[in-house]
Structure 1
C-alpha cells in the first residue's frame, strides 16, 4: 500500500509527510522573512522617532519604484530597484540636495513613458500605477506644506494608505515581487500605527 502511494507521487515533489513538526514550523516561519525583517526595522525606527516626517519617503519612494517597475515590467528586479532608490535618496541628502523635485520629475516622466509605450494603459493594476504614484507624491507635497504637528498625522495616514497599496500588489502578485510587497506592507502598517500612537501620547 505504501509502495503504491509512493509510486503515485508527482515526479520532483518530495514526500513531506514524514517531516517533523518542528521542521515544518521552521520552514513556515522562514518563508515569512520579509515580515520579520519589516518588524525588526519598524521596532528600531520607532524607538527613535521624532515628528514622523522622516517616514514620508517610505510611501512616496516605493510608489515611484512601483511605477518604474510597471513601466519596465520586470518584477524580478524589485529589490534591486528598491535598494537603488533608497541609496539615491541617502546620497542626495548627504549632498544636501532636496530629493523631492527629482522624485516629482521621475514620477511625471515615468507616467508619460508608460502611457506612450502602452504599459500603463493595460487594464487592472497597470492602469492604476500612474494615478497612484501621482496621488502619493501629491500627498507627500501636502505634508511639506502643513505645520509639523499636522504633518505627522498625515504621514501616518500616508503609510497606512501605502500599506493597503502593498496589500493589493501582494494579493495580485503583479508588477512587484511578492516578498517586497510583504516587507513594504508590514513596515508601512507597523510604522503608521506606531507613529499614530506616539503622536497621540505626546
Structure 2
C-alpha cells in the first residue's frame, strides 16, 4: 500500500493479493485492476481466440487431426499433473485416466462414423473437453489455471466452429 492509504481507503481499482513476506508470512499487496490490467490478465483467452480464428477461418481441419487433438489433450493434463506433483492422490489419477479413456473413445467414435456425424461427435467431444477444462480451472488443480483457461476457450469456440462449418 502506498503511504497515506489504509486497507479501508484502498483505491477501488486495486485487487488484493497475498504475497510471501520476507518473514515467511503472507503480506497483502495491491495489483492494479484497471481496464487494461483486466484485459491483460485474460491473455490465455486472447491467444486462444487468435488460434481458433487462425485454425478455423477457412473451414474445418481434417477430422483425423481434430480426433488426434481430442485424444492428446487429456494426456497433456496427465503430463502437467505429474510435473506439478498433483497426481499423488488415487482419486485424481483415476479421474484423469477416465478423461483419457472418455476423450479417446469419442475420438475413435468420430472416426468410425460417416463424415457429418463424425464432425458432430467431434464437436461434442471438444465441448465436453471445454467443460473438463472449466472444472480444472475452477478447482485450480492438475494444470496451471492459464492452461485450463486457454484450452477451455480453444475447445469451446473450436466446437462451435466445427458445428458452424459442417
Instruction: Compute the TM-score of the two structures, normalised by the length of structure 1.
Output: 0.63
1:154 aligns with 2:121: yes
Higher helix share: 1
Partner of 1:139: 106
1:17-166 equivalences in 2 (<5 Å): 24-50=34-60, 53=63, 54-70=65-81, 72-74=82-84, 119=88, 121=90, 123=91, 125-166=92-133
Say which structure is richer in strand.
2
CA separation of 1:47/1:75 partners in 2, compared to 1, >3 Å: closer, same or farther? farther
Closer/same/farther in 2, CA of residues 120 and 15 from structure 1, 3 Å limit: closer
Equivalent residue, structure 1, for 2:6: 5
Q: Using structure 2 for the length normalisation, give the TM-score.
A: 0.75
Structure 1 residues not aligned, in runs of 5+: 77-113
Partners of 1:120 and 1:129 within 8 A in 2: no
Q: Secondary structure at the match of 1:176?
A: coil
Preserved CA contact (<8 Å) 2:55 2:61: no
What is the aligned-residue RMSD (CA, Å)?
A: 3.0
Q: State the number of aligned residues.
A: 148
Query: CA separation of 1:25/1:133 partners in 2, compared to 1, >3 Å: closer, same or farther?
Result: same
Establish whether residue 184 from structure 1 lines up as the match of residue 141 from structure 2.
no
**Higher relative contact order (Cα pairs below 8 Å, separated by 6+ residues):** 1
Task: Determine if contact 1:51/1:149 at 8 Å carries over to the other structure.
Answer: no
- CA 1:52–1:25 in 2, change beyond 3 Å: closer, same or farther? same
